[in-house]
């Protein structure tokens, strides 16, 4: 385990450590507000779920990811954006493949517009 950690690239480790400290910080710094801790098991199961969950929750909740529905190209662009704009350590080809496979399968564009308006009287 310790060896695995030592193998992490400098940036990845910094991101992880800072994010965890921040998470703690966020929980203690706003009096009266408790941030819910998410777990990968809450999200659609499938190959690459845990990897994707941990790669994508260093900065924000997975809910921000899971509320989207996009095709592979759009997911690819979104993941690239995380590196371009927000300093996410770039993923190598193998990791990108794993993550995109999971995102594409689990959060595709939803068939019907699932917009904010839902008929409150159907499926009662």
Partner 1 sequence: MLDDLLNRRFFLGSAAAVGAGMVGALPAVSTGKAFAQAAAPAAPKGPQYLKYPGKNDQLVLLGDRPLVAETPENLLDDDTTPTEKLFVRNNGQIPEEVKDPDQWKFVIDGEVKNKVEMTLGELKSKFKPVTRRIVLECGGNGRSFFSPETRGNQWTNGGVGCPEWTGVRLADVLKIAGVKPSAVFTGHYGSDPHLSGDAGKQAISRGVPIKKLMDENNLLVWALNGQPLPNIHGGPLRLIIPGWPGSVSAKWLTRIWVRDRYHDGQGMGQFSYRVAVKPMVPGDKADEKNFRDLESMPVRSIITSPANGAKIAAGTKDIKLRGAAWAGDLTVKLVEVSTDFGATWTKAKLQAPKNKYDWQRWTSVVKLPSDGYYEIWTRGIDSRGVAQPHIAGSWNPQGYGGNQMHRVAVLVG
How far is residue 100's CA from residue 97's CA, in Å, rounded to a whole number?
5
Q: Which does 71 bind (CB under 5 to 8 A by kind): ligand HEC, partner 1, none?
A: partner 1
- Per DSSP, 109 falls in state P
Nearest to 62 by CA among 77, 52, 75: 52
Q: Per CB under 8 A, which of residues 23..42 are in contact with partner 1?
A: 23-26, 29-42
Nearest to 79 by CA among 91, 64, 63, 62: 91
Comparing CB distances to ligand HEC, the nearer of 23 and 68 is: 68
Q: Which does 2 bind (CB under 5 to 8 A by kind): ligand HEC, partner 1, none?
A: partner 1
Which two three-digit tokens encode residue 74? 């759009």
Which parts of this chain interact with ligand HEC (CB under 6 A)?
15, 55-56, 58-60, 64-65, 68, 78-79, 82, 86-88, 99
């Amino acid at each position: 385990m310790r060896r695995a950690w030592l193998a992490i690239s400098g940036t990845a480790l910094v991101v992880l450590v800072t994010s965890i400290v921040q998470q703690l910080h966020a929980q203690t710094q706003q009096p009266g507000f408790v941030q819910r801790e998410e777990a990968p098991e809450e999200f659609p199961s499938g190959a690459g779920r845990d990897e994707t969950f941990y790669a994508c929750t260093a900065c924000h909740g997975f809910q921000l990811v899971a509320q989207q529905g996009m095709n592979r190209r759009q997911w690819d662009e979104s993941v690239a954006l995380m590196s371009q704009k927000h300093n996410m350590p770039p993923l190598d080809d193998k990791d990108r493949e794993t993550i995109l496979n999971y995102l594409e399968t689990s959060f595709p564009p939803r068939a019907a517009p699932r917009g904010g308006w839902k008929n409150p009287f159907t499926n009662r």
